[in-house]
């Protein structure tokens, strides 16, 4: 009967609703890193059912997932690094000076 009888708002207490969403109210107003993506996804899929949401909010969900786990980002980084190492081994590429530890701390 849980979804039909909202005990927490009937009693006026807030046991665990504060921790359900990253986009909820956070202490010290510190926003989560993926706050925007989560908000987009929730706003997109609010009110329509789960089946429709899975179809229609695919993009938002993918962005949110990517933000949280950064799988695609890491894949790209990995590919670039591998290619760079390959080129260095073949001798075709030298990393520029600021990529090898000389301090060039620009603003």
Partner 1 sequence: MWSASTVCSLCIKEEDSPVYEGGGLGKMAGSKVKQDMPPPGGYSAFDYKRNLPKRGLSGYSMFGIGIGIMAIGYWRIFSWNRERRRLLIEELEARIALMPLIQAEHDRRTLRMLRENLEEESIIMKDVPGWKVGESVFHTDRWVPPLSDELFSLRPREQYLHKRFGFLWYV
Minimum CB separation of residue 83 from partner 1 in Å reads 5
Closer to partner 1 by Cβ: residue 50 or 100: 100
Say if residue 36 is exposed, middle or buried (CB neighbours under 10 Å; 0-12, 13-18, 19+). middle
* Helix, strand or coil, per DSSP, at residue 17: helix
Instruction: Give min distance, CB of 6 to partner 1, in A.
Output: 33
Q: Which is nearer to partner 1, 9 or 100 (CB)?
A: 100
Residues that bind partner 1 (CB under 8 A): 33, 36, 40, 59, 62-63, 66-67, 70, 72-74, 76-77, 79-81, 83-84, 87, 93, 95-96, 98-101, 106-107
Residue number, 6 or 85, with CB nearest to partner 1: 85
Three-class SS of 54-106:
HHHCHHHHHHHHHHHHCHHHHHHHHHHHHHHHHHHHHCCCCCCHHHCCCCCCC
The minimum distance between CB 81 and partner 1, in angstroms, equals 7
What is the rounded CA–CA span in Å between residue 45 and residue 97?
A: 48
Nearer to partner 1, 8 or 83 (CB): 83
């Amino acid at each position: 009967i849980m979804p039909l009888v909202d005990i927490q708002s009937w009693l006026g207490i807030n046991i665990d609703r504060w921790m359900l969403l990253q986009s909820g109210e956070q202490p010290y107003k510190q926003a989560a890193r993926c706050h925007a993506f989560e908000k987009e996804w929730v706003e997109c899929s609010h009110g329509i059912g789960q089946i429709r949401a899975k179809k229609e909010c695919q993009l938002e969900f993918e962005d949110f997932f990517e933000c949280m786990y950064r799988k695609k980002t890491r894949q790209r980084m990995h590919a670039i690094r591998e290619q760079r190492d390959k080129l260095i081994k073949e001798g075709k590429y030298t990393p520029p000076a600021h990529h090898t530890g000389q301090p060039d701390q620009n603003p």
